[in-house]
Amino acid sequence: MKAILVKKFGGPEVLSYTEVDDPQPAADQVLIEVHTAGVNFADVKARIGAYHIKRALPFIPGLDVAGTIAAVGPEVRTLKAGQRVVAFPQEGAYCELALAREVLTFPIPDAISDETAAAFPLVAGTSYAMLARIARLQSGESILLHSAAGGVGTAALQIARQLEARPIIATVGSDAKKPLPADLGADAVVNYRSESYVEKARALTDGKGVDVILNPLGGEMLEEDLACLAPFGRLVCFGHASGQPASIPTDQLHGSCRSVLGFSFGTLRRTRPQDVSSIMNSVIPMLAEGKIRMMIGKQFPLTNADEAHRFLESRTSTGKLLLKV
């Protein structure tokens, strides 16, 4: 089969379109003919060798796919060849044939298009897990979402609305990205590189601060978040796009009953795959019933994975980027 292979860590140019051996499913795995693969910021981190779950070289990048089951291993009970599925593959997604464990493969109802199927698994799964399970967002609580025009951001905003968060304050890294979160229902959108989101968050919550913050950036912005996190608030760290770690003063936590939490979907799927099933069982009906929509920013052919990575790293992309196989 054809696949994108990373043979050495580096820039987008290390993504090479190569012939590799067809994979064979193990007893508990399915073989998926991939139609579309998601492009995630974690793939960029993996490509440069900075992802927290280290992959040995050479590897096929990518974390989620949509496609059709081509074959199943002898111990697979609930899935069969020919089914449309999404999956979190074992060893990469930028390829024609991917292997995934049965427990991490999910049939897709006809109401969900191929593009939507490919766009949602990681971003909507991560968003739902953080909001419902990690932050335990309650109806009527306020929320601050950073990078709200991106893949996770646009999914998290819509899921927060479904969970009845209010107000929803969104931040973006440029004025050009402001319309998308506004169209999706954010009550305020702030360009965090030129305006104070802390002031806006305080103003919209009567000075109290927000109940939940999702931060994929790390660095100074994580420290700034504490200035607008309400008593009993929960700040979820789920990435470090800024490349910088943050320092959290713990004396600002206990007296105000505030919590700083971490989340990684990669760790969840490796260590608690059953929890992934329960998250997907909540997210898939939201999509099938049209309660949330995947914002597909751009699609690239598999051969142009390097171009997709350049676009994602440019900070000008909005919505979800996909690779058509």
Ligand X SMILES: NC(=O)c1ccc[n+]([C@@H]2O[C@H](COP(=O)([O-])OP(=O)(O)OC[C@H]3O[C@@H](n4cnc5c(N)ncnc54)[C@H](OP(=O)(O)O)[C@@H]3O)[C@@H](O)[C@H]2O)c1
Could you say which DSSP state residue 260 is in?
A: E
Q: Which is nearer to ligand X, 64 or 96 (CB)?
A: 64
- Please work out the total of residues on this chain that contact ligand X, with binding judged by CB under 6 A: 28
To ligand X, the closest distance from the beta carbon of 100 in angstroms equals 17
Q: Which is nearer to ligand X, 60 or 295 (CB)?
A: 295
Q: Is 152 in the site for ligand X (CB under 6 A)?
A: yes
Q: Is 235 in the site for ligand X (CB under 6 A)?
A: no
Q: Which long-range contacts (CB under 8 A, 24 or more apart) does 106-114 make?
A: 106/277, 106/280, 106/284, 107/79, 107/83, 108/66, 108/84, 108/284, 109/284, 109/288, 110/84, 111/287, 111/288, 111/289, 111/290, 112/284, 112/287, 112/288, 114/35, 114/36, 114/66, 114/84
Residues found in the chain: 325
Which of 239, 284, 287, 294 lies at the binding interface for ligand X (CB under 6 A)? 239
Separation of alpha carbons 171 and 155, rounded Å? 14
Separation of alpha carbons 84 and 280, rounded Å? 15
Which of 145, 216, 294, 302 lies at the binding interface for ligand X (CB under 6 A)? 216
Coil/strand/helix, residue 293: coil
What tokens were used for 305? 């994975």
Give the range of 119-127, 134-142, 245-253, 283-291 binding ligand X by CB under 6 A.
119-127
Q: Is 33 in the site for ligand X (CB under 6 A)?
A: no
DSSP β-ladder status, 296-301 and 259-262: unpaired
Q: Is 62 in the site for ligand X (CB under 6 A)?
A: no
Q: Which is nearer to ligand X, 128 or 263 (CB)?
A: 263
Give the range of 17-25, 39-47, 274-282, 285-293 binding ligand X by CB under 6 A.
39-47
In single-letter form, the type of residue at position 200 comes to: K
- Give the per-residue contact string, 285-324, with ligand X (x = CB under 6 A; - = no): ---------------------------xx-x-x-------
- The footprint of ligand X (CB under 6 A) covers 40-42, 122-123, 126, 147, 149-153, 172-173, 177, 216-217, 238-239, 241-242, 263-265, 312-313, 315, 317
